[in-house]
A and B are shown apart, each in its own frame.
Chain A
Amino acid sequence: MQLNLRRPIAVVVLAFAAIGFARTARATNTAEAAVRTTMFDEPSTKNEGVRVYHPQVDLSATVASTLAIAGGYSADVVTGATPATFDVVSAATKFSDTRHLGHASAGFERPDGGIGFSFAYGTESDYRSTVFSGTTHHDLYEHNFTLALAYSHNWDRVCDADNTAAAGQPLALVALPSSAGCFTNTMGITTQKLNIDTFEPSLSWTMTPRLVVQGGATIQILDGFQSNPYRKVLVGSQNRTPQERHPQFRQRYALFFRMAYAFPDLRASALLMVRGYDDSWAVRAITGDLVGTKYIGQYLLVSGRAHWHEQTAASFYRDADGYRILGPAGQFWTGDRELSPMGNYLLGGKIAFFRRPMQERSSWFVEMELGGKYEFLYYRPESAVAPNADRKYAQIVQGAFAMRF
């Protein structure tokens, strides 16, 4: 089973979203229940690739127009094959696993602001994540400005091979063979810690009756084990294959700008996001995202999305040939595609159908929504021997159903 290292990031995003979900429900409805399933399919030219099914259930409600509560569950059912060693010849190893994630949140809203707290817990055979988040927001100048602050802390635990014998000899690090024995005090298996602090300030401004803009930052500090315990990297002409080795510390920074502009004559809107990113591992990136949404008739909503991302490599990254010929770049090495110089481009569309009861009839629901989405994600690696260069693209399909009361 291949460990997915961006899981802590995903849990943090979900924790923040849980608070936002509760707040949104409070602003426009009294209760909401939603079911969503996402399929991520990433084929490979060399093996069966990776497929992930992500079902999720979310519930939210407001109590006394002040207290907003929400909760939910989601899972990642992952199957596929991926090389255990980052080199040019290794065959893929099959794996499968299921990750379970539960979250709950509560928020207190007042006319000019509010505060919310969220708790999330994720578990799978080789990774456990506990996240606590808090957000607060306050409206200024007749609700034309909204200042928001969010903070979260992860207490993550990662299963790893016991490499005590390799202390001081990083090239002797041994990879974890499988998730068997994780979190059970099995000899040869240990548990590593990873603590993550994430801070997000933002300021929104209602500039005109048709334009809202938002600027903000994301600051994240990671302290702990951040390597893939299963992955080995072939380094040097002696064909040594130690376990992947990343630095213990990482500081990540992002500045972002978002805006929403209305086209009332078209019954449409455009949402734009631009992000600049930098971190202490020397990865720098720029990302853009554009979504256009339009009403068709009274009950139909269609949207199109374009996403673009370009990034540089981590300071200790080399492609497979580089590691084999030149050896490691310093004392760290990686086979992680997300630390390589690359870009990706996404195009997609979504359609949603809304059903509201007739006004003259009483009804047990306020609104019903049924939607579907398809997105195509194209990868552009730097070289043919970059990590996962055999995977050219991915497809994302999502179906959702929501009831509002």
Chain B
Amino acid sequence: MHSLCFSKILILLGTLAVGGCSISKWTVKPHQRELLADRIMQLDAEAQERAAEEHILSNREGAIGGTGTSGGGCGCN
């Protein structure tokens, strides 16, 4: 029973991986990224300002993380 469910999952994942054409239906096209390119939509814009903010909060909180890496954004470049 479990092996049958696992096989079905594998087949589904394989179909998704091979079916690149079907995935492209759900992607955001370059001509649709106008809003995402704006500075106010960048998760990692103003990196140095965020560093200054984190510099303060990391000294006043016992937790770290959540600032993300240099990834993210609209992928417009």
Listed in ascending order, the chain A residues whose CB lies under 8 Å from chain B are 4, 6-7, 9-10, 13-14, 16-21, 23-24, 26-28, 34, 36, 38, 40, 54, 56, 58, 72, 109, 111, 116, 135, 137, 139, 141-144, 146-150, 200-204, 206-210, 212, 214, 216-218, 220, 252, 254-256, 258, 260, 262, 264, 268-269, 271, 273-275, 277, 283, 285, 287, 289, 293-295, 301, 303, 307, 309, 311, 314, 337-339, 344, 346, 377, 379, 394, 396, 398, 400
Contact residues in B for A202 (Cβ distance below 8 Å): 68-69, 71-72
B66 touches A377 (CB 8 A): no
Q: Whole-angstrom distance from the CB of B39 to the nearest CB of chain A?
A: 8
Cβ of B63 within 8 Å of any chain A Cβ, yes or no, is yes
Question: Count of B residues near A, CB < 8 Å?
Answer: 49
A-B contact count (CB 8 A): 223
B45 touches A269 (CB 8 A): no
B63 touches A311 (CB 8 A): yes
* Cβ 8 A contact of A262, one of B29, B38, B50, B62: B38
Cβ of B10 within 8 Å of any chain A Cβ, yes or no, is no
Q: Whole-angstrom distance from the CB of A316 to the nearest CB of chain B?
A: 13
Contact residues in B for A220 (Cβ distance below 8 Å): 64-65
What is the CA–CA distance of A337 and B60 in the complex, to the nearest angstrom?
8
- With both beta carbons as reference points, the residue of chain A lying nearest to B34 in the complex is identified as A209
Contact residues in B for A34 (Cβ distance below 8 Å): 48
- Given A6-B58, A214-B71, are A262 and B35 also a contact pair (CB < 8 Å)? yes
A20 touches B35 (CB 8 A): no
Q: Whole-angstrom distance from the CB of A295 to the nearest CB of chain B?
A: 7
Beyond contacts A23-B44, A54-B52: 15 other A-B pairs, Cβ-Cβ < 8 A, are A24-B45, A38-B52, A148-B71, A206-B75, A252-B63, A262-B40, A277-B64, A277-B65, A285-B62, A287-B61, A301-B40, A311-B63, A338-B59, A338-B61, A377-B56
What is the CA–CA distance of A186 and B70 in the complex, to the nearest angstrom?
43
Q: Which chain B residues numbered 3 to 43 have a C-beta less than 8 Å away from chain A?
A: 23-24, 27-30, 32-36, 38-43
A109 touches B72 (CB 8 A): no
- Given A56-B52, A143-B75, A285-B63, are A269 and B40 also a contact pair (CB < 8 Å)? yes
What is the CA–CA distance of A10 and B57 in the complex, to the nearest angstrom?
9
Cβ of B76 within 8 Å of any chain A Cβ, yes or no, is yes
- Given A27-B77, A40-B56, A139-B75, are A116 and B70 also a contact pair (CB < 8 Å)? yes
- With both beta carbons as reference points, the residue of chain A lying nearest to B71 in the complex is identified as A148
Instruction: Report whether over half of chain B's contact residues are helix, strand or loop; otherwise say mixed.
Output: loop
- With both beta carbons as reference points, the residue of chain B lying nearest to A142 in the complex is identified as B27
Contact residues in A for B60 (Cβ distance below 8 Å): 337-338, 344, 377, 379, 394
Q: Whole-angstrom distance from the CB of A154 to the nearest CB of chain B?
A: 13
Listed in ascending order, the chain B residues whose CB lies under 8 Å from chain A are 23-24, 27-30, 32-36, 38-45, 47-52, 54-77
Q: Whole-angstrom distance from the CB of B34 to the nearest CB of chain A?
A: 8
- Given A21-B47, A220-B64, A285-B63, are A206 and B36 also a contact pair (CB < 8 Å)? yes
B67 touches A16 (CB 8 A): yes
A13 touches B72 (CB 8 A): no
B43 touches A150 (CB 8 A): no
Contact residues in A for B49 (Cβ distance below 8 Å): 36, 398, 400
- Given A144-B27, A307-B57, are A14 and B41 also a contact pair (CB < 8 Å)? no
- Given A56-B48, A262-B38, are A212 and B72 also a contact pair (CB < 8 Å)? yes
What is the CA–CA distance of A124 and B32 in the complex, to the nearest angstrom?
49
Q: Whole-angstrom distance from the CB of B16 to the nearest CB of chain A?
A: 11
What is the CA–CA distance of A137 and B69 in the complex, to the nearest angstrom?
9
B73 touches A204 (CB 8 A): yes
Q: Whole-angstrom distance from the CB of B43 to the nearest CB of chain A?
A: 6
Q: Whole-angstrom distance from the CB of A16 to the nearest CB of chain B?
A: 6
- With both beta carbons as reference points, the residue of chain A lying nearest to B48 in the complex is identified as A58
* Cβ 8 A contact of B67, one of A13, A109, A283: A13
* Cβ 8 A contact of A19, one of B33, B43, B70, B72: B70
What is the CA–CA distance of A338 and B60 in the complex, to the nearest angstrom?
6
Contact residues in A for B77 (Cβ distance below 8 Å): 26-27, 109, 111
